[in-house]
A and B are shown apart, each in its own frame.
Chain A
Amino acid sequence: MNDYNFAYLDEQTKRMIRRAILKGVAIPGYQVPFASREMPMPYGWGTGGVQVSAACLTPEDTLKVIDQGADDTTNAVSIRKFFETTAGVATTEHTRGATVIQTRHRIPEEPLTEDQILVYQVPIPEPLRFLEPRETETRKMHALEDYGLMHVKLYEDIARHGAIATSYAYPVKVEDRYVMDPSPIPKFDNPKLESAAIQLFGAGREQRIYAIPPHTRVVSLDFEDHPFEPTKADAACDLCGAEHTYLDEVIIDDAGGRMFVCSDTDYCAQRQAAGHHGRLSPEDAA
């Protein structure tokens, strides 16, 4: 037992956040303002995601935390420990075993199910921010569905690089209405935004919550003659041999040596356990 209220936040705060979440679910892709609290971690470390997770958690939940696909990096470990301490919930590294998954910059490779909640940490929720700096104006643009500017950004990409070079935080249109920033997930993950799980997005510093309800239509913006393409490194995972997953490139020596590994560590480990192996798997592993 500890002296924290369940999941750190007080009950009134959690109610306030749940109201924002409900509104977000009711208007898919709309950014709902909420009274973000100071959390015992700096902005940019997932304060928005943590607050949304705290409002969603029940004592029976099993929590998984992903940081750039990995379960064992600082952010993932710290947030998992945070909720182990303050909520006493069970935690897991397995996507399938989790009921609430807080993620930073990735969607798990394993398809999610209807009884799961995926919580994203969002640094900048406004997709139009770098095109139009005034918040009053971007709100008006959302209200009036005035989204021509979003395509100007994609136009600039093609003009400068010959293809749409935006590779993460790729803007999407939710249910034919709101243009939304899917947080900095790679555009490889964009097709997975049409999911069976409920997806909640929390931006702590910017004080916004938004959501994609299950089975909602999510379309990545593009041009007719330059259609959207989910991209990944053109290689297979060197540990599990998977060719269909998003890969991290790891430099392994100072002579140009490199390897590609699944960014989703849990998925990779499960494939290795099932006997798959890649180019650099240890000899005795199989």
Chain B
Amino acid sequence: MTPLLSVRDVSKSYGQRIGCTEASFDLYPGEVMGIVGESGSGKSTLLNCLAGHLEPDRGEVIFDTRSDGPRDTLRMSEPERRMLARTDWAFVHQNPRDGLRMAVSAGGNVGERLMAVGARHYGKIRDGAIDWLGRVEIDESRIDDRPRAFSGGMQQRLQIARNLVTGPRLVFMDEPTGGLDVSVQARLLDLLRGLVREMGLSAIIVTHDLAVVRLLADRLMVMKSGRVVETGLTDQVLDDPQHPYTQLLVSSVLQV
């Protein structure tokens, strides 16, 4: 089986400081990978390198494209990479304000990706938007409201709808539940888990919240100071941590 995403030795440094270094892994179709670590451990840097937002200093990010099979996305031309970013990829930001257009209605936000890939039929774009708002549990009557009028949880769900409307195969998520209260988090996780299973999505989730990866991720990668210190199946890593840092991380979680 060809991996959907194959990461080889990706490194990025900010001058003298290391952002992330020598990260390598394979992600198979339908698999959800969690990246955990404390603030500043390089997990966001790695995610941004993979998603093409940052240019890594070294390494390869090979994506199995629909048309020509595995390609190194770092060596693609900018138009190709942008096309990939709005068809096969999705990026869910921690702060929905980064991922949404706050001055554009919910329907327009969801429809943007459709229009960017060439949809030019208003009725169909709107139907697509209504369908997706329903799937993320936003009432159809809110379609013409701006995201400003939405609660934090709704904004995050809207961002997810906007990203998934073109049927991507790989979703990057940067702390998707950060800044939400626990009950809203639970609903969002439930929703995400459903969508991931239903659509057969592959996903890379960056988070510092171990509960999130326990629920969503099949596999786990633990990062510290820009390096991957431990990888394995989620339950294995969380229940039987090997690296001292992972042990510390797991034992730091408050038990209620």
Contacts and interface: CB of A to CB of B under 8 A. Distances in A.
Contacts of B143: 159
Interface in B102-132: 104-105, 107-108, 111-113, 115-117, 120-123, 125-126
Given A144-B79, A148-B116, A223 B111 contact: no
B107 A155 contact: yes
Contacts of A158: 122
Nearest to B109: A152
Contacts of B101: 152
A148 B125 CA distance: 12
A140, A145, A149: most-surrounded residue (chain B CB, <10 A):
A149
B144 interface: yes
Contacts of A225: 121-123
Interface string B58-89: 00000000000000000000110010001000
Q: How large is the interface on B (under 10, 10 to 19, 20 to 34, 35 or more residues)?
A: 20 to 34
Nearest to B144: A159
A176 interface: no
A75 B82 CA distance: 45
Interface string B89-106: 000000000000100110
Contacts of B116: 146, 148-149
A149 B220 CA distance: 37
A97 B26 CA distance: 72
B105 A160 contact: yes
A244 interface: no
Interface in A4-30: none
A148 B78 contact: no
A144 B115 contact: no
Interface string A145-171: 110110110011011100000000000
Contact of A146 (B82, B107, B125): B82
Contacts of A156: 104-105, 108
A284 interface: no
B120 A224 contact: yes
A226 interface: yes
Given A224-B120, A224-B121, A159 B115 contact: no
Contacts of B108: 152, 155-156, 159
A6 to B, nearest CB: 45
Nearest to A150: B115
Interface string A212-227: 0000000000011110
B120 A155 contact: no
Contacts of B121: 223-225
Given A149-B112, A156-B108, A144 B82 contact: yes
Contacts of B115: 148-149, 151-152, 155
A148 B117 contact: yes
Contacts of B104: 152, 156
Interface of B: 78-79, 82, 86, 101, 104-105, 107-108, 111-113, 115-117, 120-123, 125-126, 143-144
29 contacts: A140-B78, A144-B79, A144-B82, A146-B82, A148-B86, A148-B112, A148-B115, A148-B116, A149-B112, A149-B115, A149-B116, A151-B115, A152-B101, A152-B111, A152-B112, A152-B115, A155-B107, A155-B125, A158-B122, A159-B107, A159-B126, A159-B144, A160-B144, A223-B120, A223-B121, A224-B120, A224-B121, A224-B122, A225-B122
Nearest 8 pairs between A and B by C-beta?
A: A148-B116, A223-B122, A151-B115, A148-B115, A224-B121, A144-B79, A152-B112, A156-B108
